[in-house]
Chains A and B, each alone.
Chain A
Amino acid sequence: MKIYIRSSSCISPQKTFGTSEFLTEVVEYTGTRLKAIEPDYKEFIDPKQIRRMSHVIKMGVAAAKDCLNQGQTEMPGAIITGTAFGCMEDTVTFLTRIVEQDEELLPPTAFIQSTHNTVAAQIALMLKCHAYNNTFVHKGISFESALFDAIMLLNEGETNNILVGGTEEMVDTSFKVLTRLGLYKRWPVSNLSLLSTESKGTMGGEGAVFFLLSDQSSSDNLAELTAIKTLYKPKDIETAIVSLLKDNSLNIDDVDLIITGKNGDTRNDEVYKQLASSIFKNKALANYKHLCGDYSTSSAFALWLASNIIKRGTVPDAVVERKKSGSAPKKILVYNHYQNKYHSLMLVSTI
């Protein structure tokens, strides 16, 4: 069975939402953190609810609704999300009140909205969608887990259209803690030069990206999701890539573009550099984390990027690392890893 990406919607630190432009104008950030550009939510969410909703819920619900609109689908047959940290804003709010008010007279709203499944639940509530609803929370492969579940559901014949998303919000508290844990650079940098800094640490990011997956072919589809594979602490990623391609009767020569998860941290980028001179030698290369920052479900941004490159037939200059002359990319491999532990491969093709 072929699985298609029918539509996609992306709220990110770049101008990716509600525009027909494709990363033509890049937003520059100086510091160690990229914040998502908030759209006008009124078009997607009841204003009364907007006030109560945290950042990640608003981003998630709006991206989900926009994705369905673009896919001309009112009711998906399943809703599946991935998030590593879940609803941090509400979690921090409730934790703060527990401490400051010594556990007394706490309002329930923040707790109610703090569960990891809140985004998927709010989408279901808004659509009155009683179908399968799941949320995966496994660190750097949270989004890939959701995608994998959707592919299995389509293969099982449970439904024809599935809404799948990756959402993550960065709040001040998590940014401070993750900075202390050494994830980010120790001095301010520009995201435009992030990938050439040759030092430890990256820039944090956030976003909400949704996809409508379908098993039905249509000229409106963005791309085919040909394969996906996640690996935990792989011993040999090159062999894993060759084997994934082989499973799909392909070899590296069939891949026109590789999008990698380079994030400007020397420890993180080492494997990409090695591959650039081995299996990816002479291949066109692109990167994306300087645009959306690094976060657990950033691979959803990469998949949005890959699907749009396939559909539009152009590679935005802002993502190019190594250009190869030739026609529009027909097959793109996305290779990302999160902190060297969780690696994922996604193969996207023309429809």
Chain B
Amino acid sequence: MSSSVYIAGTGVISAIGNNVAEHLAAFEREEAGMGKITTLNTIHRGELPVAEVKISNDELEQLSGLPAGTSRTALLSYMAANEALTDAAIPNFDSLRTGLVSANSVGGMDKSEDFFVEFLADNSKGKLRNVFDHECGSKTEIVADKLGISDYMTTISTACSSSANAIFYGARLIKNNILDVVIAGGTDSLTKFTLNGFNTLMILDKAFCKPFDENRQGLNLGEGAGYLVLVSEKVAQILSKPLYCKLSGYNNSNDAYHQTASSPDGTGSYLAMKGALKKSGLQPSDIDYINLHGTGTPNNDSAEGTAIKRIFDPEYPPMSSTKSYTGHTLGASGGIEAVFSVLAIKHHLIYPNLRFETRMSELPFEPEKHFLKDQDIKHVMSNSFGFGGNCTSLIFSAI
């Protein structure tokens, strides 16, 4: 049970790039992925910025080899999961016990909401091929089938912490000796459903978001997918490529305060970070970088900031919200940001929190504003918090 779980591969797709290399370049150029809505047919076009992946469904179908009409959520998932698996280059993959643990928040809603328009007018109408794969689990199944994984698969949905939970669930499957290799992470594509949902909550910024800024106005929605390849010690020994790092700590706690809002003192986030530190055996002073949940909403950043203050005061590690680049990718965010955290360790990087200007009045610290190279990064904390009070923190550590 005490065995370590190592990260052997990474894959990511978001508004700032279609693969890991493109992301690293975009970070260095300090180039955000937000822009005008081009894919969704919505009245909010031109009014709300979003962070779209810059490839059409047609192109994604061609690149992935998945059939026409596949949900964008599954297409994005395959792109990142396949990149991660290819990157890991695991010999004799077929002889190992392998699994896919994936997460998403609204399943095939990108297709179902099209179906629903015709269906609502006439219940005998609407193309069934747009709705038969609606379930969240279908997205995982499509990708697992394409990657040739059948030993184990499951899907987690805990709103915006979904894929952080998928990653550490995957790690536990290895620790419990159920599997040798797990591809874990999450995916979500932009939908009218979520765009309108967040809009009704009045937490969408009409400009590019400003996480952890005193004058933050809300979040920008994004889309994408991020996956890690997790391997057991036994598999780690047979790999020819160097490992990225290990997953040293994780914890899932519930805020138990409100269905959508975070408690003012950030109880859930505090417990998640505290629990992850305990699991890793590290002290707060050991953390070299925090990849914040940092959505840019007044409520999240205040609660998360307060929780960080309670744990880290008076010495704060560098921290930033990469949602200032990718937007909030919901069920994918924990996976995407886990990839960034792992890359921070491998490439000795700290990512900037774009557009930060003014420190939040209640906090004695502020996020990092500049892209920093050659940093000595041994331990990175990644936070993911969601609706339903679901709070999860992961800690990655250099080997």
Q: Among B1, B43, B116, B390, which residue has its beta carbon within 8 angstroms of that of A104?
A: B43
Tell me whether A43 is interfacial, beta carbon within 8 Å: no
Contact mask A91-111 → B, CB, 8 Å, 1/0?
A: 100111011101110111001
Query: In the complex the two chains form, what is the Cα distance from A84 to B253 in whole Å?
Result: 23
Query: In the complex the two chains form, what is the Cα distance from A108 to B197 in whole Å?
Result: 7
A85/B135 contact (C-beta < 8 A), A139-B141, A180-B128 known: yes
Query: In the complex the two chains form, what is the Cα distance from A91 to B136 in whole Å?
Result: 13
Q: Among B107, B123, B169, B197, which residue has its beta carbon within 8 angstroms of that of A111?
A: B197
Query: In the complex the two chains form, what is the Cα distance from A135 to B253 in whole Å?
Result: 13
Query: In the complex the two chains form, what is the Cα distance from A122 to B178 in whole Å?
Result: 31
Query: In the complex the two chains form, what is the Cα distance from A232 to B147 in whole Å?
Result: 14
Interface stretch among B154-162, B227-235, B281-289, B335-343?
B154-162
Tell me whether A117 is interfacial, beta carbon within 8 Å: yes
Interface stretch among B4-12, B22-30, B255-263?
B255-263
Are B132 and A117 neighbours in the complex by a CB distance under 8 Å?
no
Residues of chain B in range 156-186 having any CB-CB distance to chain A below 8 Å:
156-159, 165, 169, 172-173, 175-176, 178
Are A94 and B197 neighbours in the complex by a CB distance under 8 Å?
yes
Q: Among B151, B156, B173, which residue has its beta carbon within 8 angstroms of that of A135?
A: B156
A96/B156 contact (C-beta < 8 A), A85-B135, A134-B252 known: no
Query: In the complex the two chains form, what is the Cα distance from A155 to B390 in whole Å?
Result: 23
Tell me, rounded to whole Å, the shortest Cβ–Cβ distance linking B88 to chain A.
22
**Which residue among B44, B137, B169 has the maximum number of chain A CB atoms within 10 Å of its CB?**
B137
In the complex, chain A residues whose CB is within 8 Å of the CB of B119: 173, 177
Query: In the complex the two chains form, what is the Cα distance from A133 to B162 in whole Å?
Result: 11
Are A118 and B259 neighbours in the complex by a CB distance under 8 Å?
yes
Chain A residue nearest in CB terms to B172? A152
Are A118 and B388 neighbours in the complex by a CB distance under 8 Å?
yes
Interface stretch among A141-149, A258-266, A278-286?
A141-149
**Which residue among A121, A122, A230 has the maximum number of chain B CB atoms within 10 Å of its CB?**
A121
Are B172 and A156 neighbours in the complex by a CB distance under 8 Å?
yes
Are B196 and A133 neighbours in the complex by a CB distance under 8 Å?
no
In the complex, chain A residues whose CB is within 8 Å of the CB of B120: 95-96, 99-100
Query: In the complex the two chains form, what is the Cα distance from A120 to B156 in whole Å?
Result: 13
Are A138 and B254 neighbours in the complex by a CB distance under 8 Å?
no
Are A138 and B153 neighbours in the complex by a CB distance under 8 Å?
yes
Are B200 and A111 neighbours in the complex by a CB distance under 8 Å?
yes
In the complex, chain A residues whose CB is within 8 Å of the CB of B124: 180
Chain A residue nearest in CB terms to B112? A95
Are A133 and B132 neighbours in the complex by a CB distance under 8 Å?
no
Are B193 and A98 neighbours in the complex by a CB distance under 8 Å?
yes
Are B256 and A137 neighbours in the complex by a CB distance under 8 Å?
no
Number of interface residues, chain B, beta carbon within 8 A: 66
Interface stretch among A26-34, A124-132, A205-213, A327-335?
A124-132
Query: In the complex the two chains form, what is the Cα distance from A96 to B201 in whole Å?
Result: 18
Chain A residue nearest in CB terms to B113? A95
Tell me whether A176 is interfacial, beta carbon within 8 Å: yes
Query: In the complex the two chains form, what is the Cα distance from A220 to B107 in whole Å?
Result: 40
Residues of chain A in range 325-346 having any CB-CB distance to chain B below 8 Å:
341
Chain B residue nearest in CB terms to A144? B154
Are B258 and A106 neighbours in the complex by a CB distance under 8 Å?
no
Contact mask A164-184 → B, CB, 8 Å, 1/0?
A: 000000000100110011000
Q: Among B107, B150, B155, B158, which residue has its beta carbon within 8 angstroms of that of A117?
A: B158
Q: Among B112, B134, B254, which residue has its beta carbon within 8 angstroms of that of A129?
A: B254
Are A125 and B387 neighbours in the complex by a CB distance under 8 Å?
no
In the complex, chain B residues whose CB is within 8 Å of the CB of A129: 254, 256
Tell me, rounded to whole Å, the shortest Cβ–Cβ distance linking B281 to chain A.
16
Chain A residue nearest in CB terms to B156? A136
In the complex, chain A residues whose CB is within 8 Å of the CB of B105: 115-116
In the complex, chain B residues whose CB is within 8 Å of the CB of A271: none
**Which residue among A100, A125, A296 has the maximum number of chain B CB atoms within 10 Å of its CB?**
A125
In the complex, chain B residues whose CB is within 8 Å of the CB of A230: 152
Contact mask A61-95 → B, CB, 8 Å, 1/0?
A: 00000000000000000010000111000010011
Tell me, rounded to whole Å, the shortest Cβ–Cβ distance linking A206 to chain B.
15
Interface of A is mostly: mixed
Tell me whether A298 is interfacial, beta carbon within 8 Å: no
Tell me whether A242 is interfacial, beta carbon within 8 Å: no
Tell me whether B71 is interfacial, beta carbon within 8 Å: no
Tell me whether A114 is interfacial, beta carbon within 8 Å: yes
Number of interface residues, chain A, beta carbon within 8 A: 60
Interface of B is mostly: mixed
Tell me whether A322 is interfacial, beta carbon within 8 Å: no
In the complex, chain A residues whose CB is within 8 Å of the CB of B267: 130
Tell me whether B389 is interfacial, beta carbon within 8 Å: yes
In the complex, chain B residues whose CB is within 8 Å of the CB of A287: none
In the complex, chain B residues whose CB is within 8 Å of the CB of A156: 1, 172, 175-176
Tell me, rounded to whole Å, the shortest Cβ–Cβ distance linking B2 to chain A.
10
Residues of chain A in range 10-25 having any CB-CB distance to chain B below 8 Å:
none
Tell me whether A191 is interfacial, beta carbon within 8 Å: no
Tell me, rounded to whole Å, the shortest Cβ–Cβ distance linking A53 to chain B.
11
In the complex, chain B residues whose CB is within 8 Å of the CB of A131: 253-254
In the complex, chain A residues whose CB is within 8 Å of the CB of B178: 152
Contact mask B184-203 → A, CB, 8 Å, 1/0?
A: 00000000110011011100
Q: Among A96, A107, A145, A232, which residue has its beta carbon within 8 angstroms of that of B150?
A: A232
Tell me whether A250 is interfacial, beta carbon within 8 Å: no
Tell me whether A349 is interfacial, beta carbon within 8 Å: no
Are B259 and A122 neighbours in the complex by a CB distance under 8 Å?
yes
Query: In the complex the two chains form, what is the Cα distance from A51 to B150 in whole Å?
Result: 43
Chain B residue nearest in CB terms to A85? B135
In the complex, chain A residues whose CB is within 8 Å of the CB of B363: none
In the complex, chain B residues whose CB is within 8 Å of the CB of A275: none
A130/B268 contact (C-beta < 8 A), A106-B196, A116-B105, A124-B389 known: yes
Are A137 and B155 neighbours in the complex by a CB distance under 8 Å?
yes
Interface residues of A (CB under 8 A from B): 79, 84-86, 91, 94-96, 98-100, 102-104, 106-108, 111-118, 120-122, 124-125, 127-139, 141-142, 145, 149, 152, 155-156, 173, 176-177, 180-181, 230, 232-233, 296, 341
A–B complex contacts, Cβ < 8 Å, 6 sampled: A106-B200, A111-B193, A111-B196, A111-B197, A121-B387, A232-B144
Q: Can you name 15 extra interface pairs (CB under 8 A) apart from A121-B389, A139-B138?
A: A95-B113, A99-B116, A102-B43, A104-B43, A106-B196, A115-B159, A115-B386, A117-B159, A121-B388, A130-B267, A134-B158, A135-B158, A180-B128, A181-B132, A230-B152
Interface residues of B (CB under 8 A from A): 1, 42-44, 105, 107, 112-113, 116-117, 119-120, 123-124, 128, 131-132, 134-138, 140-141, 144, 150-159, 165, 169, 172-173, 175-176, 178, 192-193, 196-197, 199-201, 252-260, 267-268, 271, 386-390
Nearest 10 CB-CB pairings of A with B: A121-B388, A111-B197, A108-B200, A139-B137, A116-B157, A138-B137, A137-B136, A133-B254, A138-B155, A117-B388
